Each structure stands twice: as structure tokens, then as C-alpha cells.
Amino acid sequence: MGLEESSEPPKKSSKLFANISKRKPSFPVDEAIKNKIKSQWSVLDKKWAPQKKFYSLFPFEVEDTKFWDVPPKLDPPVAQTIKRTTLPLEDSTGLKDAMDRKAEGALRKTYLAAAAGFKPAIAAASVARSLKVWILQLEKALKKGVPRENLLADLPMVISASDFLTEAALSSVDILAKTTAFATSARRALWLKPWVADIASKNRLLNLPFEGEKLFGSQLELLVEKKSDDKVRSLPQDKRPYKRPSFRGFRTSYKYRQDWRSGKTSGDRNYTQSRGRPSRGRGRPYFNQKPFSA
């Protein structure tokens, strides 16, 4: 089957534990497959658009696929909690932050790409089952002594089924690679949200080619090396806009002010009219007093 297995004999010192150290068989990953994955990772924001060949290879009735072909809509009660509008919103316009909208869009694309993978998977399962039936029939025919010419006539059908399974598997690789690309884009938007920078700079990092292993990769490291002078390399940040702290001075209640202006306290005690210039809240008011007796 093409599985890789180590053919080197075990060393003398490890004969007792040969079964433990023996390498397990594994499937090889061809360079063409790796390049296929990397091509989908090179442009993260590119929309998943199946070719005509995809629809011809995997035809399905619309009624059978309509429940997964469209991403689920946001429920109106939840949409109303995000943004108060006359009509409930069903897309990402209700989200205020640009990175939140980017993450929402990437997650919708992730759903569409993953849902497209149902078609080759279901089709491959059907063909694989049929292929097994055909092979069992050929086995019975061989045991019964069916003429060789009749057996050769059925071989093209088996070969076609094998070719179809190969095409379905390669289509699944494309879909899975694109799905991981969209998921990476959503994660990037999540981590770029708290970064204090302009939207253009965030979008630049958001659309960097994905290389695997790290979320942003080597191109981010090059950008940081150019912009950062510190020993600890970090992304440059804009200065946060200064917000003047809100301060409310001491204010008396409206009822107290009304009582003071009318010359009454809250206990309905009468104050005499102040003589001279009335007080405006500065200093101590002067109240009329009786003259000293001689």
C-alpha cells in the first residue's frame, strides 16, 4: 500500500526491546500534496469557490444539501443584544470592532468550506462500498471458473472507481486546507483585536501567508525586526488617545437649593433676608443681626 516502514535491522544492544523501538508504518506525504496545502494557505482571505469539475464529480440533489449549504443565520433575539435596530441584523454589521467583523466573516467561510467537504466524503463512501461489492463478485466469478474475457470486461469499472476515490480524496485535501486557512484568519483577528494600531496595519498582518507552526510566521518576525528597537521584540503600537477624566464637583440637591433660595431649610426654619449683596455660594453669607446694645 506504499506505507513507509523502517527496513534497518535492530542493533544488537536493542534486540530485547526490538518490538518497542520498531517504527510503526505510516502513510507518505507526497510533495505534490504538501504544495496543494500550501497553495491554499498562501491567500487566507480568498473565498472558497469550487470549480465546475467539483460539481460534475459530486452531483447531489438540492433538497439533500440545502441544510448544510448555507451558514446558519444569527437568531434575532441575540442580534438585538448586539445592536439596537428597528429590524434585527443577520450579518456582522452589528459588531462594532473591525477585528470582530473579520473573525465573523472568516468563521462563516470556515463553515462553508467545511460543509463543502460533505460532498466528496459522502460520494467516496458510496463508491467505496460499491467497489467492495464488485470485488466480491469478481472473487466469486473466479472461483466458479468464469471465462477470463468476462472478468476483464468488468475491470474498467473497478479502475474507474479507484480513480474516483483518488479525485475525492484530493478534493478533500483542498477543502480541508482552505478550512484551516479560514480558521487561522479568525484566530489572527482575535489576537489582533487588542493591538493598538490602525486598521490597515491589522489587515496587513491578518492576510500574511500562513506557513504552519506559528500563527503569523516568519514574515511577522521580519516586520518586527525592522520596526522594533527593543531587546524584547514586540509590535509597534500607536499611542492611546487621551481621555480627560470626568469629574463632577460637589452639588447640592435640587430640593436643598430651592429651600436655600426661599430662605427656608429642609426643616421649614425661616432665615432672615441677607443684607447687602446676596451670596452666590462664595464665602459665608451675611445675615441681618441686631445691633449691640450700648
Q: CA 28 to CA 3: how far, in whole Å?
A: 6
pLDDT tens digits, one per residue of 136-185: 999 999 999 999 898 899 899 999 999 999 999 999 999 999 999 999 99
Evaluate if residue 71 carries a pLDDT over 60: yes
The mean pLDDT of 45-55, rounded to a whole number, is 87
Q: How confident is the model at residue 130 (pLDDT cuts 50, 70, 90)?
A: very high
Phi then psi dihedrals of residue 121, to 5 deg: -70, -45
pLDDT tens digits, one per residue of 213-236: 999 999 998 888 876 665 556 777
Q: How confident is the model at residue 253 (pLDDT cuts 50, 70, 90)?
A: low
Q: CA quadruple 206, 210, 216, 220: dihedral positive or negative?
A: negative
Nearest to 123 by CA among 57, 170, 48, 69: 57
> How much is the pLDDT for 6?
54
Evaluate if residue 51 carries a pLDDT over 90: no
Q: CA 165 to CA 157: how far, in whole Å?
A: 13
Q: CA 274 to CA 287: how far, in whole Å?
A: 5
**H helix intervals, the chain:** 18-21, 31-41, 52-57, 62-69, 76-82, 98-116, 118-144, 148-192, 199-206, 218-227, 254-261
Q: How confident is the model at residue 293 (pLDDT cuts 50, 70, 90)?
A: very low
> How much is the pLDDT for 126?
96
Q: CA 8 to CA 234: how far, in whole Å?
A: 47
CB 263 within 8 Å of CB 272: yes
pLDDT tens digits, one per residue of 16-31: 666 666 677 888 999 9
Instruction: Go through the domains of the chain in sequence order and give each one's CATH number.
Output: 36-208 (1.10.287.3160)
Q: What is the mean pLDDT of the chain?
A: 80
For 6, residues 6+ apart whose C-beta sits below 8 A from its C-beta are 22, 23
For 55, residues 6+ apart whose C-beta sits below 8 A from its C-beta are none
> How much is the pLDDT for 236?
72
> How much is the pLDDT for 137?
93
Q: 68-77, 173-182, 244-253 — which one is most confidently predicted on average? A: 173-182
